Amino acid sequence: MSAVTERPAPVVDPGDPRLRDRTTMRSFIALGILVALLAVLPFVLDEQSQTVAIRTLIFAIMAVGWNLMSGYGGMFSFGHAAFFGIGAYTSAYLLVEHDISPWIGMGAGAVLSAAAGTLIAFLCLRYRLAGAYFALATFAFAQVFLLAVQNIDALNRTEGFNVPILPEESWSMMQFDQGSPIYYWIPLGILTIGLAGTIWFVHSRTGQYVQAIRDDEVAAESLGIPVMRYRLITVALSCGFTSLAGAFYTQYYFFVGPEQAFGAAVSVNAIVPAVIGGIGTIWGPLVGALIVGPLSEWLTEVLRDPPPFLDFLQGLTGLDVAVYATLLILIVLFMPKGIYGTLRDRFRS
Amino acid sequence: MSDTVTGSQTRTEGRLRVPALPLGVTLAVVVALVGVYVFGQREAGLVTQSIATGLLLGGVYALVSVGLTLIFGVLGIVNFAQGAMLTLALYLVYTMTSSWGLPVYVATLIAIPVMYLFGVLVQTTLLNKLTLAGSHEGPMLITLGLSLLIANVLLMIYGGRPLKVGGSVDGSIHLFGAIASYERVIAFVGALLVALLLTVILRKTSFGMSIRAVSANAQGASLVGVDVSRIYGMTFGIGSACVAVAGGLMAPFLSLTPSVGEQFTILAFVIVVLGGLGSVGGAMVGGLVIGLVQTVGALYLPGTGSLILVFAVFVCVLFFRPQGIFGAKP
C-alpha cells in the first residue's frame, strides 16, 4: 500500500516450522532477559526517574497496541485515543461510581474497547475505506468519543473523574505508596504480556495470514483467507491491549479527563514511538518509547535549568515537542523502517 | 477539479446524478432550515442570527478547506499541518501589524507570497520523494510532525498567552434582523473571491491544466512533458497561500494562541470529505453546510454538542458517499 507499511522481508520463513520455532524461542528468550533487566530498575532509579520510566512504559504499551493493528495489520489508525480513552473511562467510572476494583475495570475496559474497535473497523472495512480514508475515519471516531464524553452528564462532562485516594495501600484497589516500585511493575507486566503476545502473534498462523493480507489483500483473498475475520481479530487485540494503558493511566495519575483520554495528542503518543522505533517490528515500539519518553523528560529538565551556554533556552516551553516532531520527520524521511527496523536490516545483510 | 478524487470508492454513480446531488443538498438544507423556523420552537430572530453566523463562519471554514482539498486532490496528501499553517499565517500577520504597524489586509497581501514559498519549500524538501513513491502514510506522518513542530516553535517564540490583532474595520451591518460585523463579511466575500479565482485558474490557464493533468494521471502527464514534481511544489504552495488568505481575513476576529489552528484542521477534513476530496466548489458548499450545522445545531445542543452533529455528518458521508457531494467516480 505504501512505502511505510510495506515491509517485504518476512520476519520468518513460514515454510520451515523448525526455523519458525527457533526464531520464536529466541525472541521469547530475549524478552525474558530484557524484562528481568527492566524489572530491577526501580532499585536503581530515584523517584523522579521512576516517574519518567512509568510514563515511558505507558508510551510503549500504547505503541505496541497500535503496532498490531497499523504495523502488522496495515490498517493505519489515527484514532487510538478512542481505545485508550475507553479503557481509562471504563475503569474510572466503575471505580468511582460503583466501587469496583480497577483490576476488573481494566478487564471490562479491554472488552469494551475491543468491541468498539471491532465495530468501527468493521464499518470502515465494510465500506472499503482504505489508506487515508481509513485513517480519517478512525480520527473522526476518536473525536466523536471526545465530544460525547464532554457532553454526557454521567461521565462528569469536562471535569472527568478523580480516583479517591485511600489512606493505605491496597492491592485490590491498585493503590500503593507514592514511589512504590509496584507502580512500575504493573505497566511492565502489561508490556511484557503485549510483547509476548506480539511474538506469538507474528509467528502464529493468524499473524501470518494478517501479514499476508496487509501485503496483498487480493492475493490473500483469492487463496481463501477470510480477510475480514482476521483483520477484525487483529483490531480487537490491538484495541483491547491499548485500553489497558488507559486504565493504568487513570490509576497512576488518580485523574482522567476528556482531553487526557480521548484527545488527538493521545493518538499521536501511540503513533510516534512506533514510527520512530520501527512499524511492523516486534521491538520497534519499545525502542521508540525508550527514546521518546526519556528524551522529552530530559529536554524539559534542560529547559528548567539550562547549562550556561544554552542560557537563552531558559523557560522556553514547546522545545521538547518541537524536538520530537523533528525526530519524527527525519525518521520518516531517512529511515522509513524506523531505528530498530533499519539496524536489524543492516545486521542481517 | 471534480475529476480528481483519489482513494477507494466502491460505487459508480450514473453521470446524471453528479450535478443533481449538489442541488439536492441545497434543497435539503433549505428544507431543514425552514423546518427549524416552523417546528423548531426557537425564536425566529435567534434562528436568523444563527443562520447568518453559520454562513459567515462557513465561508471562513471553506477558505481553510480549499487549500486542503487542492493538496489532497492533486498530491494525494492528507495534510495534517493545514491548521498549523493557518496558525503560522496568523502569527505572520500579527507580527507585521504589531511590529511594523501595517494594516491587517496589507499584511495579508505580504503573507500570501511568504506562505506560498513556505509551502513550496515543505513540498520539495520534505514530501516530494514520498509523494512520488505513492505513499499515503509517509506524508501523513510528516505533516503530523510538521504541525507539532509549527505549533511548538510558535509557542517558543510568542508564548502561550492569547494575542489579538487590532486595527481592522469596525462596525457591523444589519440584514433581515441579523447582525454581522464588517470583518466577518469581508472574510466571507474574500473566501468567495479566492474560490472563484482558483476555479478560473484551474479551468482556464495552462498552469491549471497541468495541475489537472497531474492530478488525473501523474505518470501520463510526465510523459507529455509536464514537470510533475514542480507542479507538486506549486500546488502545495497554492494550498498554503490559501491558508495565508484565510489567516489574514480571520485575524481580526480570532484570539491567537499557538494551537488556534488545530480545530480548523479537523473541521477542514470534515468539509473536504463532505464536498468531495479535490473539489474546490465542494469545499465551498461543504464549508457553508458545516457552518450552518454547527451554529443552528448549537440552538439545541449546548457547548460542544453541535460538533457531534458535524462528525455524524462526516461519518455518514465517509461511509455512504466517500467521494463526497461533488466528487465523481474514480
In tens, the pLDDT along A68-113 reads 999 999 999 999 999 999 999 999 999 999 999 999 999 999 999 9
In terms of Cα–Cα distance, which of B90, B96, B123 is closest to B239?
Answer: B123
Instruction: Give me the mean pLDDT over the B292-299 stretch.
Output: 87
Name which residue leads in pLDDT, A112 or B259. Answer: A112
- ipTM metric: 0.86
Which residue of chain B has the CA closest to A332?
B138
Residues of A in contact with B266 (CB under 8 A): 139, 143, 264
**Would you state the pLDDT for residue A64?**
97
Q: Is the pLDDT of residue A153 over 90?
A: no
Return mean pLDDT, chain A: 89
Rounded Cα gap, residues B291 and A142, in angstroms: 21
Q: Is the pLDDT of residue B14 over 60?
A: no
**Would you state the pLDDT for residue A8?**
52
Distance (Å) from the C-alpha of residue A317 to the closest C-alpha of chain B? Answer: 6
- Select from A129, A143, A268 the Cβ nearest to the Cβ of B322: A129
Rounded Cα gap, residues A107 and A94, in angstroms: 11
Q: What is the 3-state secondary structure (H, E, C) of A34-78?
A: HHHHHHCHHHHCCHHHHHHHHHHHHHHHHHHHHHHHHHHCCCCCC
Non-local (6+) Cβ contacts of B243 within 8 A are B64, B67, B82, B85, B86, B89, B115
Q: Is the pLDDT of residue A299 over 90?
A: no
Least confident of A208-217, B155-164, B203-212, B301-310: B301-310
Q: To 5 degrees, how large is the angle CA B200–CA B204–CA B207?
A: 100
pLDDT tens across A221-246, in order? 999 899 999 999 999 999 999 999 99
Enumerate residues 180 to 219 of chain A having a beta carbon within 8 A of any beta carbon in chain B: none
The grid coordinates of residue B129 equal: 520523494
Rounded Cα gap, residues A77 and A271, in angstroms: 8
Max avg pLDDT among A13-27, A143-157, B154-168: A143-157
B169: buried, middle or exposed (CB in 10 Å: 19+, 13-18, 0-12)?
middle
Name which residue leads in pLDDT, A306 or B142. Answer: B142
- B126 and A329 in contact by Cβ < 8 A? yes
Band (pLDDT 50/70/90 cuts) for residue A313 is low
Residues of A in contact with B275 (CB under 8 A): none
The grid coordinates of residue B214 equal: 497531474
**Would you state the pLDDT for residue A17?**
62
